[in-house]
Structure 1
């Protein structure tokens, strides 16, 4: 099977999700040919770099403007309504070219900006190629939703509920979490779990995922209900610094600012971190070379380092992750069971992520900037009891994910095609 994943590099989360899907499918379906296509690069060529640079500058310096544009562009539509005329044919033609160049049997999107154009292509050419959307946000918006989508990969149970509330049939939704690289989890183990379920399912031709003849689905492969032992009250919300805490020794803190390197800039912040007894800190500066050059070698117990491809090991081997509430980072932390400490969100989609983390007890919310929240950060890293409560919530949330769902859907489609050919 030729599988085309369309994505973008706006913020890098979409692209990382595409890479994670490719990696998972290569493990679960090693015979497939999987191609990742940068939608903006395909559309604009070398000029795409200018678009990405402009986006990065807007996020770094003009969050208010970005949020205003985001709200205007992401109004929820009825997914069954007629498509707006604003969808230009140039985008749809770009999709057509990508599909033809790759001879795609399956279309997957991890970038909401692709969805309407893929949907328009499918509609215009009466295409029967399955179209799968991987939602890389907790909250949904209009650009994620299209009436031609065959399967939504939802980040969480509440994402699934939001989709159902706007009219998406439940049998078109699988709760997979936002896909992360295998270093954060064990895709072979999750595949074995799903295969065990499939072996118990009567209709083997549908791989226990979706019975095209009966229109029924196996709920196990769509993710179990959130585990009842998740206890958001154990760790959600703003820290009360007067509460007693249990300190069980030395801790390691990882500080990340996402792909754009949006990190604390003040020397006083790092001075305070360096004075916390028993705490060692790693700061991954990403694209923020100025911060790297300014502080490297200044502290004995704080290590500043540039972008690394080994980020999963840094997250897994840390006691706490101090970062901004990005979607992909949240699910990397959940899969690694590394508790989060989050600054006040600056972007609309980050606000939804932060609310999700608070409701599910996955971290400590500062409700301030990093610099203003240093007292709360110090309190959190010392609190072993709260750390363990968050780790338990993360483990329980992972049980609601069905990471093998996509592979099963593709296998179902592949088997259906074989049956159709045999019947002709």
Structure 2
């Protein structure tokens, strides 16, 4: 019996879509250890095909990341342009992408494509039809509110998996039939629902920080953008004995500027481009300053980590909706000017099991193990049968 082949398709616009792809891939691999003896297994492929498909598409990816890193105030215009022109559903865009997509479908011999990017769904659906092959298309929405890219609404997808009721209602308003929509939650990587691999004390000591001080992670994201440096400077005015882990992302200029600023700030600061164990980092700190990226914020929620959302520059619509939802539900505070961080940090407590944040149930915020529901649905659609209670074997403390 031939094993079905499943391709997880994404693009490196920011870091969230790669995070979602890696989360779905890991959950699929975990569940494939729980396959019934009489069932086929599955082969998993992962492809960042948007930027590979044509130089025009690669240009849009690069422009998105440039604006994200260097000029976030322009992102709203990028969003407006994409929504008005819809290059993700244009004849020209499909024709230039078609050779790559047909090659992917035919040479990889895939039976299912799981798309975690809004700019790829319509092209994938057309390529599947033009290939003449029986390939299922599943879309996994990575924006946890209803104010998201219209590219998520692909009527030819076999199933669209949304985080919550907000996404479901928006898709239905765009004409997607309810039987083609599944509410599951956000595809957070399994590492964020498993125990950390090291203690808080060990983690912070490795960075030269104290386990006894309130610790703030300032996360500039994959692109290293936002107003994080201004927030860090404002934090220097705080008279509380806090310390900082500053993640600069793919922005070497920011990294050098933060190093210079830290020498004069008096705040104990560990400065890093990234950390390869974000699940451990989020267990070791007490507050995360971040933009309202869907995956990062829901990874923090899975770790019960309070957030301060950078809203000094008005976020793009899909992130603005997320920021408002998180603040309304009490899991985040809004930073509308740099000085707002002072009051937030003054209220921060060193986290203990006794004061752990309780997750609200509204809008799927407490569905931190949702990636296993997503993965089990994908495998079922591919004809893979799992043993009973397979998902529960991996969800741990949820």
Alignment of 1:157-168 (within 5 A): 157-168=165-176
- Equivalent residue, structure 2, for 1:357: 326
Alignment of 1:44-59 (within 5 A): 44=54, 52-59=61-68
Contact conserved, 2:247 with 2:272, CA < 8 A, in 1?
yes
- For 1:170 and 1:32, how far apart are their aligned partners in 2? 28
- Equivalent residue, structure 2, for 1:131: 137
- Equivalent residue, structure 1, for 2:155: 147
Alignment of 1:303-382 (within 5 A): 303-344=270-311, 345-366=314-335, 368-369=336-337, 371-381=338-348
Deviation of the 1:313 alpha carbon = 0.6
In structure 2, relative to structure 1, the CA distance for the partners of 1:338 and 1:357 (3 Å cut) is same
Contact conserved, 2:111 with 2:134, CA < 8 A, in 1?
no
1:89 to 73, 89, 95: 95
Computing the radius of gyration from Cα coordinates, the structure with the larger value is 1
In structure 2, relative to structure 1, the CA distance for the partners of 1:411 and 1:265 (3 Å cut) is closer
- For 1:91 and 1:250, how far apart are their aligned partners in 2? 52
Alignment of 1:284 onto 2:290 = no
- For 2:367 and 2:68, how far apart are their aligned partners in 1? 34
Q: Please list the CA deviations of residues 229-278 of structure 1 after superposition, one character each: whole Å capped at 9, or x if unmatched.
A: xxxxxxxxxxxxxxxxxxxx8422111011111253247324225x423x
1:29 to 29, 32, 41: 32
Q: Which sits farther off after the overlay, 127-136 or 394-403?
A: 394-403
Contact conserved, 2:186 with 2:370, CA < 8 A, in 1?
no
Q: Which sits farther off after the overlay, 59-68 or 47-56?
A: 47-56
In structure 2, relative to structure 1, the CA distance for the partners of 1:87 and 1:288 (3 Å cut) is closer
Alignment of 1:269 onto 2:234 = yes
Greater RCO structure (CA 8 Å; 6+ sep): 2
Q: Secondary structure at the match of 2:47?
A: strand
- Equivalent residue, structure 1, for 2:124: 118
In structure 1, list runs of 5 or more residues that go unmatched: 78-82, 188-248, 418-424
Deviation of the 1:179 alpha carbon = 1.4
Q: Please list the CA deviations of residues 83-114 of structure 1 after superposition, one character each: whole Å capped at 9, or x if unmatched.
A: 75454312123211111121111111111111
TM-score by length of 1: 0.72
In structure 2, list runs of 5 or more residues that go unmatched: 34-40, 196-211, 386-398
Alignment of 1:301 onto 2:268 = yes
Contact conserved, 2:229 with 2:258, CA < 8 A, in 1?
no
Contact conserved, 2:54 with 2:96, CA < 8 A, in 1?
no
TM-score by length of 2: 0.76
Q: Secondary structure at the match of 2:138?
A: strand
Alignment of 1:393-408 (within 5 A): 393=360, 397-399=365-367, 402-408=370-376
- For 2:253 and 2:124, how far apart are their aligned partners in 1? 40
- For 1:312 and 1:401, how far apart are their aligned partners in 2? 14
Alpha-carbon RMSD across the aligned residues, in angstroms, is: 3.2
- For 1:398 and 1:27, how far apart are their aligned partners in 2? 21
Deviation of the 1:13 alpha carbon = 1.0
In structure 2, relative to structure 1, the CA distance for the partners of 1:374 and 1:398 (3 Å cut) is closer
Deviation of the 1:150 alpha carbon = 1.1
Contact conserved, 1:174 with 1:405, CA < 8 A, in 2?
no
- Equivalent residue, structure 2, for 1:211: none
2:183 to 171, 175, 187: 175
Alignment of 1:208-287 (within 5 A): 250-262=213-225, 263-266=227-230, 268-273=233-238, 275-277=239-241, 279-287=242-250
- For 1:269 and 1:295, how far apart are their aligned partners in 2? 13
In structure 2, relative to structure 1, the CA distance for the partners of 1:414 and 1:135 (3 Å cut) is closer
2:105 to 99, 102, 105: 99
Q: Secondary structure at the match of 2:224?
A: coil
Alignment of 1:15 onto 2:18 = yes
Q: Secondary structure at the match of 1:159?
A: helix
In structure 2, relative to structure 1, the CA distance for the partners of 1:89 and 1:302 (3 Å cut) is same
Q: Secondary structure at the match of 2:191?
A: helix
In structure 2, relative to structure 1, the CA distance for the partners of 1:104 and 1:269 (3 Å cut) is same
